[in-house]
Amino acid sequence: MVLCWLVPILLLLATFGILLEETYQRSARQELDGTAQFAMLQLKMELESAINDSKSVSYDGVIRSAYRSYRESRNKIALYHSLNDYLRDNFSRSGTYRAVFLAFWDEQINGVYAYGAGESGSALIQDCRTATETILQIMRSEDTQTCFLLIHGNLYLTRNLLDSHFEPYASIVMMLRPSAFFSQLSVLGAAEDVQLQIDELCFRYDGENIVKEEEKDGGYRYEEAVDGHPFRLRVEEAKYNAWKEHPELSWAAAGAALLVLPLLVLLWLLWRRHVGKPVETLVEANLKVQAGERGYEITEHAPNAEFETLFSHFNDMSSEMKEQFERSYLEQQASQRAQIKALQSQINPHFLNNTLEIINWEARMAGNDRVGAMIEALSTMLNAALDRDGRTQIALREELSYMDAYLYIIRERLGESFCVHKQIDESLLSRQVPRLILQPIAENAVEHDLARHGGGNLWLRVYRADHRLVLEVEHDGSMTEKDRERIADQLEGEGEISSSVGIRNVSKRLKLIYGKEGALSMDETDHGTILARISFPDKEE
């Protein structure tokens, strides 16, 4: 009886327990993976919104105008009044931040604070003031990029503000409200340990406080990035013990020794109804979601409360994930259009200053037709830069007219020593190309090489090859190893923003419009020139 009946049944029960544990772990892993991805998507959206808020403060010019007025009048009361109104109107009703304040680099100006919805108290004010000195020391070595700082258990988002001379004069500091950013981590119910990392900051959120930690090994890792800031989620899955979670299995094993086969059959039927079928339902639902059916819901009735809860959580997660993916897709499209439009609006102020100086010099010397022609060329360039009709792409014919206007001004600036050679396939003049895609490349050639040497040759070519439209700007010049590294960084959108911002913008716009099919390359040729080549698919062939 022991060898032939009891031992096999106990082994079967033990096997059932192991299978139950493995099946549950697999199902819990799939659920954990889905909820972790959902939490990362939510966190990405919150961080992206906060970064955009910091950019709005930098770009809308209200604080810069108030500071400029203060520099002229030295009226601190008017400055504080304007800044307090601005911060209060924009952030006092927000539940995203505990506090938002301005830390001025000028020691004569005190900080200006605004507090988020439901926040007040001297302790919060003291936290902001204590962090100000540390923040300013760190931000003095930063450019205009957004920075995340963890100081005394508070997470700050900071960004430098620049005046009209592109010099930093203050930092906008946002103390993030942890519950607004990290509350979605509570959906990771199957996780035993959850750790976050933003840039180089590694911390844990315990539901109330942010605790700095050293990065741990192991666990499941999820990675995302927002505006160049990588953030990671590390999750350790909680271990499941079927015997502890279901003590009735132990009683079933003892009863099996008495009832033997009938009880074994009964246990198998109960297990199949209460565990096996619900787990199969969950696995099947997870596979449908993985196959692309976001929003899929389990309609079957669960045989017990535990799986009823799992079914309900899965349905909620699937529905929310569908909404978030749809919303994220629409927001990504809108963001892409906004980025393209913003990149088109940049134009080198040094070029405008040089042009205006030439016109002013010519006007003072004597009235002649050259002044009128240069003004007309400048007007053409300004119309191209302002983009009043909002078009991101124009006919090649129109783009070449902007290029001609720019080259005319440069020819007047450098004289007869500057020579332009054109090789244009006129059958391509009606093709659509990104607005102001050639002028930044030509300007880079002029400012970095031709102007420094008092002139030279510049070749402009447009042709079609391998079903692609190719635009080339070649000029006399040479490149050092440092130049190659700088240009490579600009083409990849990395490195410091320098005078080669035109190259960076052209590369980014090509990637935004054409994806991997848009390409910009720049290198030195064998015959002592530098060749910049733009190419993208010819969709009108």
DSSP for 281-350, please give it.
Answer: HHHHHHHHHHTT-TT----SPPSSHHHHHHHHHHHHHHHHHHHHHHHHHHHHHHHHHHHHHHHHT---HH
**Which residue range is the domain that position 514 belongs to?**
345-537
Position 448 in a domain: yes
Give pLDDT, residue 537.
Answer: 92
Cα separation of 337 and 275, whole Å?
Answer: 50
- Do 404 and 309 fall within a single domain? no
Position 61 in a domain: yes
Give pLDDT, residue 13.
Answer: 66
Asked if 412 contacts 449 with a C-beta cutoff of 8 angstroms, the reply is no
Phi, psi of 456 (to 5 degrees): 145, -170
Position 371 in a domain: yes
Query: Across all residues in the chain, what is the average pLDDT?
Result: 80
Least confident of 82-91, 206-215, 328-337, 372-381: 328-337
- Is residue 418 classed as helix, strand or coil in its secondary structure? strand
Give pLDDT, residue 130.
Answer: 85
- What percent of the chain has pLDDT above 90? 13
- Do 324 and 438 fall within a single domain? no
Give pLDDT, residue 462.
Answer: 96
Mean pLDDT value of segment 361-373: 65
- Do 369 and 220 fall within a single domain? no
- Do 233 and 255 fall within a single domain? no
Which H, E and C letters describe 153-192, residue by residue?
CEEEEEEEEECCCCCEEEEEEEEECHHHHHHHHHHCCCEE
User: Hey, which of 181-185, 237-241, 319-323 has the most confident mean pLDDT?
Assistant: 319-323
Position 45 in a domain: no
**Residue 474 predicted with pLDDT over 90:** yes
Least confident of 103-117, 154-168, 343-357: 343-357
Q: Which of 279, 306, 333 is the last residue of a domain?
A: 333
**Residue 116 predicted with pLDDT over 90:** no
**Quick one: pLDDT band at residue 280, thresholds 50, 70, 90?**
confident
- Do 432 and 529 fall within a single domain? yes
**Into how many domains does the chain fold?**
3
Q: Is 436 left (phi over 0), alpha (psi -120 to 50) or beta?
A: left
CATH at 453:
3.30.565.10
Q: For residue 290, which of 19, 6, 23, 37 has the smallest C-alpha distance?
A: 37
- Do 96 and 25 fall within a single domain? no
The residue ranking higher by pLDDT, 188 or 397, is: 397
Which residues touch 318 (CB under 8 Å, ≥6 apart)?
A: 34, 285, 289, 294, 295, 296, 297
Give pLDDT, residue 423.
Answer: 95
**Residue 247 predicted with pLDDT over 70:** no
Least confident of 56-70, 486-500, 508-522: 486-500
Position 372 in a domain: yes
Q: For the segment 10-52, what is each residue's pLDDT rounded down to a tens digit?
A: 677 677 667 766 776 677 677 777 777 888 888 888 888 888 9
Give pLDDT, residue 425.
Answer: 93
Least confident of 104-118, 231-245, 330-344, 453-467: 330-344
Least confident of 115-124, 220-229, 283-292, 462-471: 115-124
**Residue 363 predicted with pLDDT over 60:** yes
Pair type for strands 97-104 and 168-176: antiparallel
> What does pTM read for this prediction?
0.43
- Do 323 and 375 fall within a single domain? no
Mean pLDDT value of segment 110-128: 79
Give pLDDT, residue 269.
Answer: 80
CA distances from 398 to 99, 208, 404 (A): 49, 59, 10
- Do 277 and 380 fall within a single domain? no
Position 37 in a domain: no
**Lookup: tokens for 206:** 């315990």
- Do 152 and 214 fall within a single domain? yes
Mean pLDDT value of segment 524-531: 91
- Do 486 and 426 fall within a single domain? yes
Q: For the segment 145-195, what is each residue's pLDDT rounded down to a tens digit?
A: 889 999 888 899 999 988 878 888 888 998 888 888 877 776 665 566 788
**Residue 210 predicted with pLDDT over 80:** yes
Give pLDDT, residue 30.
Answer: 77
- Positive or negative torsion for Cα 303, 305, 310, 316: positive
- Is residue 74 classed as helix, strand or coil in its secondary structure? coil
Cα separation of 211 and 47, whole Å?
Answer: 19
Give pLDDT, residue 259.
Answer: 65
The residue ranking higher by pLDDT, 258 or 243, is: 258
**Quick one: pLDDT band at residue 385, thresholds 50, 70, 90?**
low
Q: Which of 214, 240, 266 is the last residue of a domain?
A: 240
Asked if 456 contacts 475 with a C-beta cutoff of 8 angstroms, the reply is yes
Which residues touch 266 (CB under 8 Å, ≥6 apart)?
A: 259
Q: Which of 333, 354, 375 is the last residue of a domain?
A: 333
Count Cβ neighbours within 10 Å for each residue of 356-370 and write b for 16 or more, e otherwise. eebbeebeeeeeeee
- Do 501 and 361 fall within a single domain? yes
Position 42 in a domain: no
**Residue 142 predicted with pLDDT over 60:** yes
Position 464 in a domain: yes
Give pLDDT, residue 246.
Answer: 61
- Do 228 and 265 fall within a single domain? no
Least confident of 106-110, 174-178, 375-379, 472-476: 375-379
